[in-house]
Amino acid sequence: MTPPVKRLADWDGDRLERLAEAHGTPLYVMDHDRIRANYARFSEAFDFAHVMYAAKANTGRAVVRTLYDAGADIECAAAGELYRAIEAGVAPEDLQYTAVNPPAGDLDYAVDLWEDTPELTITAGAEMTLDRLEARGFDGRLALRVNPGIGTGHHEKVATGKDAKFGLPYEEVEAVAEAARERFDLVGLHAHVGSGVLSGDLDDHERALQRVADLAERVGDLEFVDLGGGFGVPYRPDEEPLDIEAAAEMVRRVTADLDATVALEPGRYLVADAGALVTRVNTIKETPETRVVGVDAGLTSMIRPAMFDSYHHIRNVTGGDREPVESSVGGPLCTSADVFCTDRPIPRPEADDLLAIGNVGAYGINLASQFHSQPRPGEVAIEGDNERVTRRRETFEDLTRLEDEASGAE
């Protein structure tokens, strides 16, 4: 069994430098052997559950295909994710659609897909969504999303279990379920409590899941109870990884009395530590406050530090044996949010050094943008000794391509 986490120090520095020279920076590198190992570890621990991959963590075609080939079905939170999964070669009957305030076009696409693939399950978290589905002729496999009123995870913005945006109010679910059975084929309940759950969060996570399990027993006659995902990985080098066996034992205990299949949707746990972002130092500036290290990646490449104040370990691949100096690493964008760390000890970076940012396989490339007209990074997959480009780097021409197509420019 592979180690429970791939630390940034475990990446082959010579290989990262070679890939950066060959493909430029900023560059995402995804270790698909690691993705498969993470899935194998998770599915072995949760051998009593139906495991799906939460595609929102990383919808890259190569990533989705690797997990599907490894045995995971795919859970999609938007119609675009359904489309991407199908484009990756996923059979529609192996998809589940979990809608959150779905736009009309999303519901149209999902219902059209269901008409050809009645095995598709659609999850709804609001009574109005049920009405909108019925108006489109949908009467198929339905799951209801529950808001358990308890959220867990690494940041309040991902503690979805207590956010009114997500799911039906706990006290209303039984009545909604009874009425839904007259209109749809009610097959499941769904809940997602939060994201980034580590061993210290398991008690809170258990309380939330217990509420869902208790509710499922009262609703009764269900094919499955989907307890979402949320299992986390350590972002700091001294942080302990999740005890996956303890997490599995907790879920097994909570669901022991359920007469329904337990479903889980890991995302981050499967792909986060399989990704590294390599970036080149272009500017060194000594100031009275700090040592500024400018790099060619920015929040357009990886926004998690700016959005969630997230910690991502940074390694000096080129000069790892130098004495550490407190450094503030930031990108080329005109905002104070465009920083990856502030006053962090890093082996003294110099111009042209290659830095690597760890644990970017989840919510990294998916959240990349063209703010400041920055072309989005490329991506390379590594598998054993093999390497292949799975996402080409955008060019300046790509920045205006949709506008050019709209205006008929050649």
How far apart (Å, rounded) are the C-alpha atoms in residues 287 and 208?
48
Binding-site members for pyridoxal 5'-phosphate are: 230, 265-268, 363
Distance between CA 340 and CA 304 in Å, rounded? 9
* Residues that constitute the known binding site: 230, 265-268, 304, 363
Question: 75 forms bridges with which residues in the sheet?
Answer: 54, 96
Helices (H) and strands (E) in the chain, counts: 13, 20
DSSP state of 77: S
CA dist 314 and 346 (Å) reads 7
229 alpha carbon, distance to own chain's centre: 10
Measured CA to CA, the distance from residue 394 to residue 407 in angstroms comes to 21
Instruction: Give the CA angle between residues 378, 25, 375 to the nearest 5°.
Output: 55
Place of tokens 């630390």: 7
Residue 385 three-state SS: coil
The residue annotated as part of the active site, out of 334, 402, 406, 409, is 334
Q: What separation in angstroms does the CA of 410 have from each of 167, 392, 394, 402, 404?
A: 47, 22, 18, 11, 7
Q: Which amino acid is at 64?
A: V
Active site residue 341: no
Q: Binding site for substrate, residues?
A: 268, 304, 363
150 neighbors 137 (Cβ within 8 angstroms): no
Which is nearest to 349 in space by CA: 294, 306, 275, 277?
294
| DSSP single-letter state for residue 72 | -
* CA distance linking residue 266 with residue 272, whole number of Å: 11
What is the phi/psi pair of residue 406, to 5°?
A: -70, -35
Quickly count: other Cβ atoms within 10 Å of residue 175's Cβ.
11
Q: Which residues pair with 112 in a beta bridge?
A: none
Partners of 387 in the beta sheet?
A: 382
Q: Which residues are catalytic?
A: 334
